[in-house]
C-alpha cells in the first residue's frame, strides 16, 4: 500500500529524524489502528458495534502501554530512542480514561510505529505488534 501511495502522490524519501515525535505518533496511531481493524475484520464478518468495542479495547492507552512494556527488550537502540522521544514529548492533549504514565507510554509506542512505518519497516512493525498481542493474549 505504501508503494502505491508513493507512486500516486509522488512521495519522495522521508527523513524520519526531521519529524517531531508527536507527528510520528500521529501516523503511528493510524497504522496501529489499521492493523487492529484488519486483524478483527479478517477473522470474520461481525456487527460493527462489536468490532468497534474490540478495536477500542486494543487501541486504548493502557493496552498500548502494556504492549510496549512487553516488547522493550526486543527494540534496537534506534527503536528505543524513537519510543522515548514519543514518550517524553509534551502533548497539548490530556489522557482520557488513562493514567498520565500509560498515556505517555502509548504515545511513545505510537511514535515507534510511525517511525518504523515511514522507514517502510512493515515486517518489523508486524513482528513487534504480534509479540505484543501474544503477550496480551490477543490473537
H helix intervals, the chain? 2-9, 21-41, 48-59, 61-71, 77-88, 100-118, 122-135
**Residue 27 has which C-alpha cell?**
501516523
Query: What is the CB neighbour count within 10 angstroms for residue 56?
Result: 11
Residue length of the chain? 139
Catalytic residue, chosen from 29, 73, 102, 123, is 29
73 catalytic per annotation: no
Q: How far apart are CA 41 and CA 27, in angstroms?
A: 21
Positions annotated as catalytic residues are 29
Amino acid at each position: 500500500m505504501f508503494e502505491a501511495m508513493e507512486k500516486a502522490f509522488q512521495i519522495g524519501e522521508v527523513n524520519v529524524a526531521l519529524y517531531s515525535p508527536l507527528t510520528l505518533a500521529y501516523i503511528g496511531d493510524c497504522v496501529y489502528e489499521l492493523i487492529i481493524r484488519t486483524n478483527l475484520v479478517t477473522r470474520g464478518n461481525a456487527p460493527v458495534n462489536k468490532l468497534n468495542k474490540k478495536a477500542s479495547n486494543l487501541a486504548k492507552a493502557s493496552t498500548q502501554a502494556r504492549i510496549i512494556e512487553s516488547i522493550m527488550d526486543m527494540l534496537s537502540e534506534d527503536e528505543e530512542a524513537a519510543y522515548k522521544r514519543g514518550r517524553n514529548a509534551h502533548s497539548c492533549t490530556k489522557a482520557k480514561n488513562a493514567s498520565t504514565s500509560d498515556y505517555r507510554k502509548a504515545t511513545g509506542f505510537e511514535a515507534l510505529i510511525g517511525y518504523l512505518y515511514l522507514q517502510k519497516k512493515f515486517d518489523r512493525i508486524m513482528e513487534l505488534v504480534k509479540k505484543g498481542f501474544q503477550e496480551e493474549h490477543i490473537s
